[in-house]
């Protein structure tokens, strides 16, 4: 807090007054920073008892309540203090900001500073409002504030803030950007530069000019711009500036010039793959233009271009002498890119004389670079363009090369043979050879790998790679053949390596993926992995639903909270970087950081965690029915599920498969992402429908609005439940790919009958409110008896079928029972909540129902008798579960 305040500039309070206030609030700050929130609350009360007019202490009390998950109580305090026409000191403002950010109400930060600048339009407050607009992507409003700051203070930096705001608006609306916004930004930039010139030692004007030219797609002007002397001040290395210039020339279709520059650069930077790609692309583009001509001179020019490329490769290779990888990968790339177009040139149907024999070049690459872990990745990109004959020739060459490696003597500690074995087997697997092997061949190969893994003196790096490849082989057998024995062997192997290998994390990650229901072992593995905050994003999809489906609801809440905090912290840090970029005039990075910030905010994984926490906390943690209602309802604005972004990382578990596997991965990503969205939306609509029942009883709710929201949310839940039942049939089997996330089991849930039971009680609540509002007596059949409820609940859990004596248990037979039990428990808890809410509705609205008999109003009838004759909640609600 104090650091945020020290970064602020300007205050109507004197330094002495601020010092006194800071000393008074110091115990509260210390307690908050140490996360001792109960002590912080006590310190707030202590300050307010002595100085009841200290607004900062009141807002800090609200912040403490937010961190104690008492958001409703906190908002009562802030709503009373955050009003128009009131001036606040810096301590109070920063406390407001933290309070709103911690409660995920970022728009209130905007409205806070909008009100503040009406009474105190200081530079600091206007700057804070600009940054608040930036966070909410309100670029039009921030443009106005930038101009206001410039007019008030005559500081050029603020003028450029306004120009940058126009560029960001243009990115959101490209059509309007090209027609109006970018030309306006260009004119504003030119006017200011003509007036003040370029700032010495800074690059703000240059970065803006280049961003504007890029937005207008003036590629020729962009290329000329980076070639100017002033461009050296741009925040990038000289060679990156040269690459950027060549990229602009390629976009402007100046292929010959781009190629000429690239050839000059690659002589000095032979391992720069970006330059090689420009050379190949420029050659291809020029050849494509020439091939369509009927002029023989053009055809000859095309031949010369391809030959010149071949000569360049040979010349660079002769200089490199296998010190760099790129010159030896280029021939494969050239074959792939130019192979098709060259067939249209007479006499160049075969590029072997120019770029060399592809198979021989690959075998040479293997011979020189096989000890590098990236060797296989370099080769794999070009396997798909090989013919069957080339694949067989390559494999034969590999076998011959491997025989020579095996026969050679190996020095102690040298693991070249191991890396050769790994490379060869990965190539064989990727080229489909494993599919042709018999079961005995597979078993023999597996035993060979086990021997290599357990070999004395094996390095942890090589051991980890061998284990990952072997487990991929076993997992594939489990996936294709449902071979549980192979799965158990894989578990044993991973456990062995995870225990003995301290440096390789992949085995532990593989175990986390394999143990889909063993939450205790997963928690232990995650601890040994020593996961950093940012790595939680990678782990998120591997563990997200496991704790919930296993009934470990407290662990699920903790895991979800950590993941949500990671996303929020990442977004906060990105926003801090954006603010710093504005202040330092480093505008080039702002669009990319704004996109990254938006990605963090709209992460589907983050939203799913937040929704599950609302759901589980309301069912199993909170006890106060009013707090449950607020938590269930969530934010006033509903979630826009269509704009959420998939941020899951599926590259954490490596794989060596044929090209067809990529299609399986893509299909899995799409299906699992949609399932994540659908199950989260189902939980969210259920929560809002349950919360809407409780909101009917809130005094601060307009009655008609509360009833309308109740009907709408119940209908939304019903419609989405029907959608899920249709899209996810009961026979749907979760993906078995090793890279797939832990299954959500949405099909099992929606066909269990539990969500439908909750819907019945929600629809009963809607009818009950209408009946009580009309002054009628509800019938007991509206909700049903305890016996009827018990019969429905018994059906939720299917007892595993009886087996004959001696019959073996099927693999993983207990997992399904645990998941069904967990979901059944959630259903029971949800019904308990809805019954408590219905009870509150009856108590609130029973006054609308007349007494049971007219004689109840006779002079001899006591008030107690009248109350007894009123509607009894026990007549409507069965006894609590």
pLDDT, tens digit, 9 for 90 and up, residues 415-468 = 888 999 999 999 999 898 888 888 889 889 889 999 989 888 888 888 988 998
HSE-up (13 A, CA, CB side) for residue 283: 25
Provide the pLDDT for residue 799: 55
Q: Is 516 helix (H, G, I), strand (E, B) or coil?
A: coil
Q: So what's the pLDDT on residue 721?
A: 97
Cβ count near 304 (within 10 Å)? 11
As to burial, measured by CB atoms within 10 angstroms (0-12 exposed, 13-18 middle, 19+ buried), residue 407 is exposed
> Per the structure block, which two tokens stand in for 733?
């089997």
The confidence score (pLDDT) of residue 534 equals: 63
- Low-confidence winner among 386-390, 392-396, 498-502, 785-789 (lowest mean pLDDT): 785-789
Paired tokens of 529 = 């992995």
Name the more confident of 843 and 715. 715
What number of CA atoms fall less than 13 Å from residue 148's CA on the CB side? 16
Alpha carbons 326 and 275: distance in angstroms, whole number: 10
DSSP code at position 603: B
Cβ atoms of residues 168 and 591 within 8 Å? yes
Q: Token pair of 149, please?
A: 């700051």
Sequence-distant (≥ 6) Cβ neighbours of residue 190 within 8 angstroms:
none
pTM: 0.87
Q: What is the DSSP letter of 809?
A: P
The residue to which tokens 């994984």 are assigned: 605
- Asked whether 97 and 57 are in contact (CB, 8 A), the reply is no
Residues of the chain with pLDDT > 70: what percent?
A: 93
Report residue 402 as tokens.
């491997």
Q: What's the pLDDT score for residue 522?
A: 87
Query: Any residues with CB less than 8 A from the CB of 261 and at least 6 apart, and which?
Result: 242, 245, 246, 249
280 Cβ contact list (under 8 Å, min separation 6): 309, 330, 333, 334, 337, 338
Could you say which of 3.40.190.10, 1.25.40.1040, 1.10.540.10, 3.30.2290.10 is the CATH number of the domain covering 2-201? 1.25.40.1040
Please count the other Cβ atoms lying within 10 Å of the Cβ belonging to residue 672.
22
Cα separation, 840 vs 819, whole angstroms = 32
Query: Which sequence spans correspond to the domains of the chain?
Result: 2-201, 218-356, 606-802+810-875
What average pLDDT is seen over the chain? 87
| pLDDT at position 843 over 90 | no
C-alpha dihedral, 758 to 763 to 764 to 768, nearest 10°: 140
Contact 338, 306 (CB under 8 A): yes
In the predicted model, is pLDDT for residue 874 greater than 90? no
Token pair belonging to 346: 């007479």
Give yes or no for a contact between 500 and 457, defined as CB atoms under 8 angstroms apart.
Answer: no
Q: Which of 640, 613, 635, 629 is nearest to 692 (CA)?
A: 629
Greater pLDDT, 698 or 660: 698
pLDDT of residue 6: 43
Residue 875 has pLDDT above 60, yes or no: no
How many Cβ atoms from other residues are within 10 Å of residue 318's Cβ?
Answer: 9
């Amino acid at each position: 807090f104090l650091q945020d305040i020290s970064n602020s500039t300007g205050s109507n309070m004197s330094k002495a007054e601020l010092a006194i206030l800071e000393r008074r609030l110091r115990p509260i700050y210390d307690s908050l920073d140490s996360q001792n929130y109960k002590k912080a609350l006590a310190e707030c009360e202590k300050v307010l008892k002595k100085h009841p007019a200290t607004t900062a202490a009141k807002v800090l009390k609200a912040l403490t309540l937010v961190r104690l998950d008492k958001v409703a109580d906190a908002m009562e305090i802030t709503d009373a203090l955050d009003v128009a026409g009131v001036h606040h000191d810096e301590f109070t403002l920063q406390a407001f900001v933290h309070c709103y950010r911690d409660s995920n109400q970022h728009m209130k930060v905007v409205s806070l500073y909008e009100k503040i600048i009406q009474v105190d339009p200081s530079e600091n407050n206007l700057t804070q409002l600009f940054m608040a607009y930036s966070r909410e992507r309100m670029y039009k409003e921030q443009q106005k504030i930038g101009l206001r700051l410039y007019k008030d203070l005559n500081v050029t930096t603020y003028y450029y803030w306004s120009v940058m705001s126009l560029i960001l608006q243009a990115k959101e609306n490209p059509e309007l950007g090209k027609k109006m916004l970018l030309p306006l930004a260009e004119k504003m930039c030119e006017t200011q530069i003509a007036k003040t010139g370029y700032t010495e030692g800074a690059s703000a004007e240059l970065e803006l000019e280049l961003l504007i030219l890029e937005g207008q797609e003036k590629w020729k002007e962009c290329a000329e711009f980076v070639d100017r002397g002033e461009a050296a001040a741009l925040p990038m290395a000289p060679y990156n500036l040269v690459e950027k210039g060549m990229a602009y020339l390629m976009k402007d279709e100046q292929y010959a010039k781009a190629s000429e520059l690239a050839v000059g650069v690659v002589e000095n930077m032979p391992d720069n793959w970006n330059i090689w790609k420009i050379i190949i692309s420029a050659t291809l583009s020029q050849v494509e233009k020439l091939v369509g001509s009927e002029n023989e001179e053009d055809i000859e020019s095309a031949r010369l271009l391809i030959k010149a490329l071949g000569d360049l490769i040979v010349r660079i290779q002769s200089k490199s002498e296998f010190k760099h990888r790129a010159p030896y990968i280029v021939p494969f790339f050239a074959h792939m890119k130019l192979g098709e177009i060259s067939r249209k040139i007479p006499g160049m149907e075969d590029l072997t004389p120019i770029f060399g024999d592809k198979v021989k070049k690959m075998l040479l690459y293997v011979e020189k670079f096989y000890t590098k872990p990236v060797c296989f990745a370099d080769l794999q990109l070009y396997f798909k363009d090989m013919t069957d004959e080339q694949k067989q020739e390559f494999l034969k060459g590999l076998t011959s090369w491997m025989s020579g490696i095996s026969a050679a003597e190996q020095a102690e500690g040298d693991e070249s043979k191991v890396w050769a074995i790994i490379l060869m087997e990965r190539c064989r697997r990727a080229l489909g050879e494993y599919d042709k092997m018999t079961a005995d061949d597979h078993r023999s190969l597996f035993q060979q790998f086990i021997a290599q893994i357990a070999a004395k003196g094996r390095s942890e790096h090589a051991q980890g790679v061998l284990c990952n490849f072997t487990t991929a082989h076993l997992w594939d057998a489990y996936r294709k053949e449902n071979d549980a024995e192979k799965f158990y062997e894989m578990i044993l192997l991973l456990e062995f390596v995870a225990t003995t290998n301290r440096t390789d994390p992949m085995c532990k990650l593989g175990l986390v993926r394999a143990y889909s229901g063993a939450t205790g072992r997963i928690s232990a593995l995650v601890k040994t992995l020593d996961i950093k905050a940012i790595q939680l994003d990678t782990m998120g999809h591997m563990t997200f639903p496991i704790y919930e489906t296993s009934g470990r609801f407290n662990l699920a809440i903790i895991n979800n909270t950590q993941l949500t905090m990671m996303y929020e912290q990442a977004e906060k840090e990105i926003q801090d970087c954006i603010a710093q970029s504005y202040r330092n005039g480093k505008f080039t990075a702002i669009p990319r950081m704004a996109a990254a910030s938006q990605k963090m905010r709209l992460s589907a994984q983050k939203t799913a965690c937040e929704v599950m926490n609302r759901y589980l906390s309301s069912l199993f943690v909170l006890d106060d029915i009013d707090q449950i209602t607020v938590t269930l309802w969530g934010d006033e604005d509903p979630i826009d599920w269509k704009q959420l972004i998939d941020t899951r990382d599926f590259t954490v578990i490596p794989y060596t498969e044929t090209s067809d596997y990529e299609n399986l991965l893509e299909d899995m990503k799409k299906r699992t992402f949609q399932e994540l969205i659908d199950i989260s939306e189902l939980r969210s609509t259920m929560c809002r429908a349950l919360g809407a029942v409780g909101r009917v009883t809130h005094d601060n709710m307009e009655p008609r609005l509360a009833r309308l929201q109740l009907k709408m949310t119940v209908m939304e839940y019903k419609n989405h439940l029907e959608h899920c039942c249709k899209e996810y049939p009961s026979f749907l089997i979760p993906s078995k790919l090793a890279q797939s996330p832990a299954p959500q089991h949405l099909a099992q849930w929606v066909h269990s009958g539990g969500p439908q039971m909750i819907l019945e009680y929600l629809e009963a609540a809607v009818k009950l409110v209408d009946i009580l509002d009309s002054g009628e007596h509800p019938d007991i059949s509206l909700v049903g008896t305890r016996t009827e409820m018990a019969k429905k609940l018994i059906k939720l859990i299917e007892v595993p079928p009886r087996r004959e004596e001696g019959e073996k248990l099927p693999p993983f037979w207990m997992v399904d029972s645990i998941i069904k039990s967990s979901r059944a428990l959630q259903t029971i808890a949800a019904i308990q909540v809805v019954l408590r809410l219905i009870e509150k509705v009856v108590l609130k609205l029973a006054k609308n129902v007349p007494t049971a008999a007219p004689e109840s109003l006779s002079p001899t009838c006591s008030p107690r008798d009248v109350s007894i004759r009123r509607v009894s909640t026990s007549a409507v609600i069965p006894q609590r579960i």
